Amino acid sequence: MKWIDAEYEPVLRAEPIGFLRSGKKSKFSLPHQPAGDADERNVVELLPRKQFEQALLDLSGFERIWLLWWFHRHRNWKPQVLPPRGARKKRGVFATRSPHRPNPIGLTPVRLVRVEKRRLVVGEVDLVDGTPILDIKPYIPAIDSFPGSRAGWLEELSGEAPRFRVLLSAPAEAQAAFLEDEWEIDVLERAVRKLAVDPSPHCTRRIRRQGDELLMSCGAWRVYFSVADDVVRVLRIAPGYPHAYLVDPGKTRIADRQAQIAFSVRWP
């Protein structure tokens, strides 16, 4: 990275100090701006031979910390983006939390559970597994919290209170139960929350029309549904890939691959 100035040309350099280990490969499985109160555990693993054990001294007394990290899956930035909340209206990227930034740096407050040498055990995060960590800072409530501050264009929104009732068809209930009981995969929990707020087609929410139905992409899975008045009816769940693609020996790096194969066998 270079910043070109008329008088000098300094080089800005940033290297990961470690990586996040969450086991979550898909963005859909992550919360948006987590409150950190969910009962889950993730690990920040710092690199060895960097004296990071000493850098972590005295951090264990803080209840929350800031993680500064790199959106490593995003290569291009956009001056305007379409946020997942609200109407289909583009906003300046600096007025959003979008990952499509000139320098794709993320900032997340997380609950610190404990410090284990070079490992930080933390609570709920919005980072996929393997996210590079750039820095760690303590969260200081008296300085970092301004609850009375204005929220710009977000104040125009009517809020995210559920406006739709979401009902499951018998096939959708059976498919969801199969995934949860056999594979510990909960496809519908977050999908239902999003559909209850706004089921309209939206590229950032990954909702589109497909014939007479609506389709939401949920990570490795697809949720088909219909809308009538204030009722959303989930019709069925489907794998994100065809069976022939899933069983291809060269296609091993697919999220929930084995679960998708078993699902497509049971529901061809």
pLDDT (tens digit, 9 = 90+) per residue, 26-47?
666 666 666 656 678 999 999 9
Query: What is the per-residue pLDDT for 1?
Result: 45
Q: What is the rounded CA–CA span in Å between residue 132 and residue 157?
A: 33
Out of 9-18, 100-109, 115-124, which region has the weakest mean confidence (pLDDT)? Answer: 9-18
Q: What is the CATH number of domain 165-266?
A: 3.30.2310.20
Read off the pLDDT of residues 113-141 as tens digits, 9 standing for 90 and up. Answer: 999 999 999 998 888 889 999 999 999 99
Question: Which is the CATH superfamily of the domain at 18-154?
Answer: YaeB-like (2.40.30.70)
Query: Residues of the chain with pLDDT > 90: what percent?
Result: 44
Read off the pLDDT of residues 225-245 as tens digits, 9 standing for 90 and up. Answer: 999 999 999 999 999 989 888
Average pLDDT, the chain: 86
The answer, yes or no, to whether residue 76 has pLDDT greater than 70, is yes
pLDDT, mean of residues 255-261: 90
What is the residue extent of each domain of the chain? Answer: 18-154, 165-266
Query: What is the per-residue pLDDT for 250?
Result: 84
